[in-house]
Structure 1
């Protein structure tokens, strides 16, 4: 299947010598596919082969199967390896919390890495066994982890077996087999003073927690029944994690293959409730957003625009810096600079100090300025040529009249 826009095949027919002179014409073709400069969409794509339906798993998706076969590594292996990986070793916890996580309350935020199943855990009913890794800001390795001690954490309210208040509160938001990354305020962890020298004052934590087992009041292990939908969402979450791993290694095509496969699966998943619909929608938004970034990385802006169109069917990008930048970047690669500038400027209103945006906007303005100078020069040459042609024609007329006046 050919997913490229019509403009791509047209451009391939332009020779190297002609390309610099016909670029403005190409820009006009692309501009005609833009409905409105305030809400840009790539339109006029009537050929079914150009639709981003993802119903065929082509060579891109085959890479997903090849990578597992060659390395003998499953998605579960990637998830296990990530358990001790610091989410933002060199970044701000507060920034990560605000950009990546959902608010539970003023002291806890969460980001589900692998959804569980069954009801939310009731600590009054079950003894809970869980894995954990605790992370401090600007410290690459985990401060503490059940994998270091080879000993799982437990909570048993009925036997007065408690843990840190923050961990306990986090677990009351989780489901069986769920794995989630939490931001926990220092007030629910080690307090204002901390535990020196290992834990500084007012130390907020990122904690990765996974529910491993549940036991009832009689000590019997509880096995929750997983539905087909819950199983699908668990697999999708693991695939998302695997795709991000490949993205971080610059394996963008492999990441695209994984996202494409799971977008297709999720879009054809039977949904039985509004809650399931919202869960799938949230997952699709993340996958479409990331696949747009991947397509920009491999410089395929046509497919970025197609994926972006699907993303905008699911959610508005007006307040999403990442999406605004991705769309602006794609339009810039398509030589549609004025509209790209509008998206970059909209993103900068949300993050005025974003250096990447500032640099890209400066680069874009330089291109626009260069094109204006080129257009001015071309217009001057055109006028000069027309003037020269008129003068030559007048001279030729005088010569012709003189020659005609001569006797035979």
Structure 2
């Protein structure tokens, strides 16, 4: 009797998954799968383009000692040079105890062209909010940031005593390594008053009257999210949905703003539920998000949906969504990690299908 099962070939390659190549499943050794995946990731993802590295070369072309002569010592062991002043002459220096600061950074060691730490190369800004999320930050980093204003771009040379100390953090950071810190402050926001946070309400209000509270609630939810307090963040986002959905707008501009807030809040809720591994709620909020926005243009939404679909076993749909997310952000490590996991899921499914067909043949 002729074997009617599918033909099984070599393992799926990550490049095939991303390019849309037609493929068939195969059963392979786990080590072979891991090797194949790693080779593809090394080739496609972890190679940062030379032009990106060129943009973020160490700005200090001479010794740190020579550069310090051109800088101002703002505190012991912290030297500063302003590259770009704040556009607001009335802006205050950052008070880290009362503000939420969004920023970009590069960190370099002396005589090293490329940064050992970079938000630019990761394509993500970072946020610090000591009031809501007290953590142990590097002393020199905090001192440098507190000398800056919103919109400012400055570089600092900071003594190892206020950074990674005598031991460093090998192999990335040498012992007793002074650090060049390149900082750009994107946004500074007051943490605000708890009384301004939205309360649960079933009554209609004017949209213009709740906008300030909506923004404060959003920022509080974001702080909880950064602390991995998913349930607390969800509660606050739900308050935003409830209040904004019931609010009355007076003109087209307000109506557009209202829809934008509802869209983003549904996406934020989907991301939170994704973190809690509540896949059904994740997909429900992605569906709601799609009522207001084009998911095909939003890599976060595509990634969140793709992950949820994979977890409920919808592998083909998951692949479609993750490929679209990858097309929009081809160097996003989170998306790549999920594609790697999807490949493992598909290969496991492949093994199950082959075993199923073999059992059919035996019977």
When the two structures are superposed, what TM-score results if normalisation uses the length of structure 2? 0.50
Q: Secondary structure at the match of 2:101?
A: coil
The one of 243, 261, 276 aligned to 1:265? 243
Q: Specify the alignment match of 2:186 in structure 1.
A: 206
Distance 1:373 1:93, change over 3 A: closer
Q: Specify the alignment match of 1:245 in structure 2.
A: 223
Runs of 5+ unmatched residues, structure 2 = 1-94, 107-117, 126-139, 159-179, 193-204
Runs of 5+ unmatched residues, structure 1 = 1-79, 101-137, 147-166, 168-181, 213-226, 386-408
Q: CA deviation at 1:370?
A: 1.4
Q: CA RMSD in A?
A: 3.7
Q: How far apart are the structure 1 equivalents of 2:273 and 2:218? A: 16
Equivalent residues of 1:320, 1:347 under 8 A apart: yes
Equivalent residues in 2 for 1:208-227, closer than 5 Å: 208=188
Q: Specify the alignment match of 1:234 in structure 2.
A: 212
Q: Secondary structure at the match of 1:250?
A: coil
Q: How far apart are the structure 2 equivalents of 1:373 and 1:202? A: 50
Q: How far apart are the structure 1 equivalents of 2:217 and 2:244? A: 12
Q: CA deviation at 1:196?
A: 9.2
Is 1:86 matched with 2:101?
Answer: yes
Q: How far apart are the structure 1 equivalents of 2:265 and 2:326? A: 24
Equivalent residues of 2:309, 2:317 under 8 A apart: yes
Distance 1:359 1:203, change over 3 A: closer
Equivalent residues of 1:89, 1:139 under 8 A apart: no
User: Greater helix share, 1 or 2?
Assistant: 1
Distance 1:195 1:249, change over 3 A: closer
Q: Secondary structure at the match of 2:216?
A: helix
Equivalent residues, number: 213
Q: How far apart are the structure 1 equivalents of 2:121 and 2:97? A: 21
Higher-Rg structure is 1
Distance 1:369 1:94, change over 3 A: closer
The one of 315, 318, 339 aligned to 1:340? 318
Q: CA deviation at 1:206?
A: 3.0
Q: How far apart are the structure 1 equivalents of 2:157 and 2:227? A: 37
Q: CA deviation at 1:342?
A: 1.2
Is 1:299 matched with 2:301?
Answer: no
Equivalent residues of 1:329, 1:340 under 8 A apart: yes
Q: Specify the alignment match of 2:260 in structure 1.
A: 282
Q: CA deviation at 1:141?
A: 5.1
Equivalent residues of 2:105, 2:119 under 8 A apart: no
Q: CA deviation at 1:209?
A: 6.2
Q: Specify the alignment match of 1:133 in structure 2.
A: none
Q: CA deviation at 1:87?
A: 2.2
Q: How far apart are the structure 2 equivalents of 1:195 and 1:368? A: 48
Q: Secondary structure at the match of 1:314?
A: coil
The one of 314, 326, 331 aligned to 1:353? 331
